[in-house]
A and B are shown apart, each in its own frame.
Chain A
Amino acid sequence: MNGKAALLCLLLGTPALPQGFADMGASADGFALPNRETVLAFPADHAAHPEFRIEWWYLTANLQGSDGVEYGLQWTLFRTALAPGESDGWRSMQLWMGHAAVTTPDAHFVGERLARGGIGQAGVNVGEGAPFRAWIDDWAMQSKAAPGADVLSAMTLTAAGPDFGYEVQVQAAGPLVLQGDRGFSVKSETGQASHYYSQPFYDLTGRLDLPGGPVNVTGHAWLDREWSSQPLAADQTGWDWFSLSFDSGEKLMGFRLRDADTGFTSGTWIGADGTATLLEPGALQADPLDLARVAGRDVPVSWRLTLPERGLDVTVGALNPDAWMDTSIPYWEGPVRITGSHDGRGYLEMTGY
């Protein structure tokens, strides 16, 4: 492990460490804690919250190529702080990490960028005359929204890795969705939580640059925005995260946080019009079906999800079981197909394996 990887494993944790993935089980010394009473305000809350320990701008998309192939796409900007608050120059305690990926049924392309805060190499700008922009190096998520509209409602995203790149436009066809209790998302029985909202209604058009040449794509994208200082309980070791879009227009955000016991599941049922319904802990059942040997680990790439209150009983299977993010902090992230009581497409993230 080189220094960089060791560094990030410390900063963001490592699945091998008992305190949980991404070090999020560590205590929140000096950092602000999520508060149920906080009312999210936009566009201010689209920006970074440096007084919190970790934060991300996380977009995934299920795409159809002009070549008839099914694709997955990821654009993520992580922020993590060594200490609360931001200062100018190298004294900044904010660290940034970008992950980008394109997944096909038989290939998975990954890129990663790392940056310090305080000097302009990475960051998130909101307002002050400039349009919304989240960037790290030459990767960017840039607002193209019309004046008056939510700045996230139309964006261009660019990223590139060693052997791939993309430039896509997303246009929101629905409202922002506040996850949990009006954006306050509980992550454990003991009360760990985060602030969490999404924009799951993007239509996407754009171009992928792959080793075989450019491919025009269309599809749907989902943006997650989340920040916290300690979203995992000390005994939680990782999570399985589902963002599912059904052909009916309804959507499901569901997660299972694993611990030595039965774990903690929760989620949000999102109506086709954007109406969000918080799922009670334990209402969603997620059971692994098949394990695949990925990067030397056994990872469940096929799941049975049941949500009796919505008559949901589906099998969620990976488009490409090898969607391993071989980054400083490795994890599994890839597009999935949904079959059963509901059909559709979605994304699955699995950490801590």
Chain B
Amino acid sequence: MIRTALTALLSHWRRHPMQLAMLLLGLALATALWSGVQAINAEARAAYDRAATILGQDRLDRLEPASGTSLTTADFAALRQAGWPVSPVLEGRTVTGLRVLGVEPLTLPRDAATAGLPGLSSDRLTDFLRGRIALVAAETLARPEVAAALEGVAATAAPDLPPMTILADIGLAERLLDRPGEISAFLIDPSRPLPGPVPIGLTLQAPAADDGLARLTGSFHLNLTAFGVLAFAVGLFIVHAAIGLAFEQRRGVMRTLRALGVPAWTLAALVMAELLALALIAGLIGVGLGYALAAALLPDVAATLGGLYGAAVPGTLELRPGWTLAGLAMAAGGTLAAGAQGIWQLMRLPPLASAAPQAWAAATATTRRWQALAGLALLLATVLALVAGTGLWTGFAVLAGLLLGAALILPAALAAGLAAVAKRAKGVLAQWFWADARHQIPGLSLALMALLLALAANVGVGTMVASFRATFTGWLDQRLASELYLTAGSPAEAAALRAWITPRVDAVLPIVFAEVPLSGQPGEVFGVADHATYRDHWPLLSALPDVWDLLARGEAALINEQLARRAGLDLGMILDLPGGPLPVAGVYSDYGNPAPQVMLGFDTFTRRFPDVEVTRFALRLPSADAESFATRIRQEFALPDTALIDQAGIKAFSLKVFERTFAVTGALNVLTLGVAATAILTSLLTLADRRLPQLAPVWAMGLTRRRLALLDLARTLVLALGTAVLALPLGLALAWVLLAVVNVEAFGWRLPMKAFPGDWLKLAVTALVAALGAGLIPALRLMRRQPAELMRVFANER
């Protein structure tokens, strides 16, 4: 009996392969977007974890130097002789951006022993100790930067190291970094007691669960996750529509089966099993698609994370059980949630009841009103949260509230709009058209909500990206005012270069910097020469009138926006710095840099940091000569490519990082929109049969099927356009929240919002294209309906 019942149930799909395809597609797409995003996040987090655990930072206490000071081997010997179980670590970046970690294997605590160190055979360890080999992540072993940095040293693959990181003996590390005798921090061996209080000049750092990268990049991943959830929600609309349709169309079969004696619960179990099987198939396809999506996007994500945060994420994807299973579970859960209503009705179906179809998602005018009220309340709460709350999560809560509130209001708003138009409609056909459009809203409301969300996300993210881009390019022009930027390999080379270059260019501006903790975070202090290059171009957000004179005289400092926001500093306020506090004379924008930064006059800087040697210069010369001059310096001094960077090169690189960042967002945007269009299509297909009784009389009155189909398509377009009109303000609100709330919380900078009306037009067209794509097939089907089918409406007892 069960087999017969199952065959009867499943025969539906054989007769409606399109519906089956739609269901599978919707579910697979939703799962793909969700699991793709999760896969990217999982890969990135794994990379951060590797970076964080590489020296046991997540388990070991550290002794770090007080602000503005550095540690030496003499400090190390003194601490060891005083009984401190410490092991020195030297960390830094090469000029080519490779992270170098220097460790001392003999004192390295067992908990810190890492990546390849335990796996090396004993003769390799001797070589390690002697600086003859260094460990590099396998995937970056072949990178030219690595080869250049490790000339004469054998690079050995170490599977556990993060990409673009060299783990070396501290003796080799100080050579690679050109920091002889320096130590960044001490790791403390947890197996031995500490001999006394922490010595003056050092601070004890508790183990950090991450090395800041996870926190820093958290907003980026939150962003992706939000996209994934949004995509999944939109995908569920499709699934809900397809399943609702299947239930609707099988009411007759089910009634018959019940009448033949199949118990309700057996039927329910069969339907449930069917749904789960479908979910599993679609889920597997979705996870596969998600993997492909993630693999395609990951190189861009990795480049973004590297460019924005210096986080090294491998460009290759691993299939991790975490997100694979989560994807399947989401698919199954989503399917059951979408089918719950149907199963519930099925259980309560009286076997002898009429098989009259009911609207599967009938929303009456009353429920619509309540929905709208709830939506308004949500929007109000959102505004309150915006006023009262702080933090990144508030930003995201505001985003969610905005989207959900607007979605709830959408049916009522559309109905009101259509009612208003209908009042002015002249002629019977026009009145019928508008009234019928309004009548369709309940059935289409979920799909239209999906469209609203997708469109709003498009506007919001698009506006944010465009605003960011406009600001960013302008800022780059200001910030990179010099034509060439030169980094010498050593102070001696720097002096030689300077002597040779000075008579040949308009100006040589030395740039010096020191890494210093600022407001409790690792930051940088720069020293810059007093020159028109800065006076005319530097991107100051706010400044005292005589800011550059104050800076040149060493009476004030400039700070970046991130530091100003984090430390709550404003003009005239006092900033604590190594060598004494200084008032803040100006705040400048510093996009793409998450760290706090301070700018001092060159002379003040050299007084405060006498050990810092001048090895970097900005060169001013006519921009037309920059390229040929760069070639001349390279020939004259045999400089490596990385030592001399021209302004155009930096700009191109910065813009590339930028474009990649948002390429990911763009791709997800398009996919979300595609999912929304699919939702409309499914809903329309669902509605098509139900609408026959309404269309048949109109046809009988003389409207051709072709005309009816065109009107149907027009109706879909009108609804989509109405949704787009509502999506515009929602999208702009979204953009504002992203720029003024989320960005500030996540990155520490606020961007001016710019309007791009051209994009709005594009939005309307996009909505229409999506609706057209979705409405075309149902319209064509309507056009090809057999007159007999339409006739039957009148004969049918339904």
Contacts and interface: CB of A to CB of B under 8 A. Distances in A.
B163 to A, nearest CB: 22
A125 to B, nearest CB: 12
A121 B122 contact: no
A116 to B, nearest CB: 6
A4 B108 CA distance: 8
B180 interface: yes
Interface stretch (B77-85, B374-382, B441-449, B635-643): B77-85
B130 A93 contact: yes
B677 to A, nearest CB: 58
Contacts of A93: 130
Interface stretch (B35-43, B110-118, B313-321, B745-753): B110-118
Contacts of A89: 73, 171, 174, 180-181
Nearest to A13: B122
Contacts of A10: 122-123, 125-126
A138 B195 contact: yes
B74 interface: yes
A115 interface: yes
Q: Tell me the dominant secondary structure on chain B's binding face.
A: loop
Interface in B84-122: 104-108, 110, 113, 117-118, 120-122
Interface string A106-149: 00000000111001110000000000000101100000000000
A90 B171 contact: yes
A2 B120 CA distance: 9
Contacts of B110: 2, 4
Interface in A79-95: 82, 89-91, 93, 95
Contact of B170 (A90, A95, A115, A138): A90
A137 B83 CA distance: 6
Contacts of B129: 7, 82
A9 interface: yes
A9 B124 CA distance: 12
A311 interface: no
Q: Which of A10, A93, A121 has the most CB of B within 10 A?
A: A121
B364 interface: no
B651 interface: no
A160 B77 CA distance: 18
Contacts of A28: none
Nearest to B170: A90
A11 interface: yes
Which of A4, A90, A138 neighbours the largest number of chain B CB atoms within 10 Å of its CB?
A90
A308 interface: no
B475 interface: no
Contacts of A160: 83
Interface string A1-34: 0111011011100000000000000000000000
B77 A90 contact: no
B590 interface: no
B324 to A, nearest CB: 34
Nearest to B192: A162
Which one of A91, A93, A119, A138 has the highest number of Cβ atoms from chain B below 10 Å of its Cβ? Answer: A119
A11 B128 CA distance: 13
Contact of B171 (A4, A7, A91): A91
A91 B170 CA distance: 10
A84 to B, nearest CB: 14
B73 A119 contact: yes
A3 B181 contact: no
A90 B120 contact: no
15 contacts: A2-B113, A2-B118, A3-B113, A3-B125, A6-B120, A7-B126, A89-B73, A89-B171, A89-B180, A115-B80, A119-B77, A120-B77, A121-B80, A121-B107, A138-B81
Given A3-B105, A10-B122, A10-B126, 5 more contacts: A2-B110, A2-B118, A7-B105, A120-B77, A121-B107
Name the 9 nearest CB pairs between A and B, nearest first: A90-B171, A120-B77, A10-B122, A138-B83, A114-B106, A7-B125, A119-B73, A3-B117, A6-B122
